Amino acid sequence: MSWVIKFLHRAADLTLVPSAALAKELEAARVTAGNKIRLCNKGVDSESFHPKYRSQEMRIRLSFYFVLFLFSNGEPERPLIVHVGRLGVEKSLDLLKREDLEKLFSSMLAVFTGMLGGEELSQAYASGDVFVMPLESETLGLVVLEAMSSGLPVVAARAGGIIDIIPEDQEGKTGYCFSAGDIDDCVSKLKPLLHDAELRETIGKAAREETEKYGWRAATKKIRNEQYNAAIWFWRKKRAQFLRPFQWLFRLIFQAPEVNYR
């Protein structure tokens, strides 16, 4: 697979990656030339994921928890932590307690919504208070962008594409990052947000403003105006290098005879 990956990327004129971390990984593996790896702006639908979708009805739905096969009334006034993602091993959900997830989370007043889409998903994001992302190998961080676009402060593992979304100079302003795998660090970042509604609102607003830079229009414009131009430049250069021996041979065979004008 390593050989196949290298073959495909080296055949391409340009490789676009969603994060600087992935660019470094590809460059270290010598998949293709470093100057042919470019960072591609992430896109998020800032209209579909918006604070306007905050819903008391959805919040109540997310606050009903399952205990010993009996439904208990939820507590929608308490801070609500949200996570969106597949229940895969690579998602590092064991950091928040994972094994037989529904059993382990039952004592933590957790709700498993199942698959959501459309306006329901928009409401689920916007109706929470804090978004947690424990994944250590997130290359894109799209769900983090969607949460931020929905006006939620984010607490995420400092790894992969998250580093580009919440860089060090933005920590505490648009979100928080914790050391990957460090539950104590994660909790220390969560506590202030859970106990301070004003802090949640301030960081959530700043997060929303930050994600407006990542709209699909801006992302597409950059690909069209910059990345395609770079790809065309590399293609022309490769074509010129390929044709050079043939051009030399053509000139050698069909060299014009010298004319003596004396």
Q: Is residue 259 part of a domain?
A: no
The answer to whether the beta carbons of residues 81 and 97 sit under 8 Å apart is no
Per-residue pLDDT, 224: 82
Q: What integer is the mean pLDDT of 112-140?
A: 85
Q: Is residue 261 part of a domain?
A: no
Per-residue pLDDT, 210: 87
Flag whether pLDDT at 40 surpasses 50: yes
Q: What integer is the mean pLDDT of 2-26?
A: 84
CATH code for the domain in which residue 180 is found:
3.40.50.2000
Per-residue pLDDT, 153: 94
Could you tell me which of 21, 6, 5 has the C-alpha nearest to residue 164? 21
Does 205 share its domain with 228? no
Q: Is residue 71 part of a domain?
A: yes
The whole-angstrom separation of Cα 159 and Cα 168 is 12
> Which residues on neighbouring strands pair with residue 82, listed in sequence order?
131
Q: Is residue 199 part of a domain?
A: yes
Per-residue pLDDT, 202: 94
Does 24 share its domain with 151? no
Does 72 share its domain with 187? yes
Query: Considering its fold, how many domains does the chain have in total?
Result: 2
Per-residue pLDDT, 149: 93
Does 166 share its domain with 226? no
Q: Is residue 260 part of a domain?
A: no
Flag whether pLDDT at 38 surpasses 90: no
Q: Is residue 74 part of a domain?
A: yes
Per-residue pLDDT, 71: 38
User: DSSP characters for 168-190?
Assistant: GGGBTTTBEEE-TT-HHHHHHHH
Does 33 share its domain with 94? no
Q: What is the mean pLDDT of the chain?
A: 79
Does 125 share its domain with 176? yes
Flag whether pLDDT at 101 surpasses 80: no
Write out pLDDT tens, residues 54-93.
Answer: 998 898 888 765 433 333 445 567 788 888 877 665 555 5
Can you give the residue range of the structural domain that contains 28?
2-42+216-253
Sign of the four-CA dihedral 20, 155, 134, 86: negative
Does 74 share its domain with 33? no
Does 107 share its domain with 160? yes
**pLDDT band at 262, cuts 50/70/90?**
low
Write out pLDDT tens, residues 131-177.
Answer: 998 887 666 678 999 999 999 999 998 887 788 888 888 888 999 99
Does 208 share its domain with 224? no
Per-residue pLDDT, 15: 87
Does 130 share its domain with 244? no
Write out pLDDT tens, residues 223-250.
Answer: 888 888 888 888 888 887 777 777 677 6
Does 101 share its domain with 146? yes
Does 102 share its domain with 128? yes
Per-residue pLDDT, 122: 93
Q: In the chain, what percentage of residues exceed pLDDT 70? A: 81
Q: Is residue 146 part of a domain?
A: yes
Flag whether pLDDT at 203 surpasses 70: yes
CA 182 to chain centre: 21
Per-residue pLDDT, 147: 94
Could you tell me which of 101, 97, 65, 100 has the C-alpha nearest to residue 80? 65
Q: Is residue 99 part of a domain?
A: yes
Neighbour tally for 77: CB within 10 Å: 8
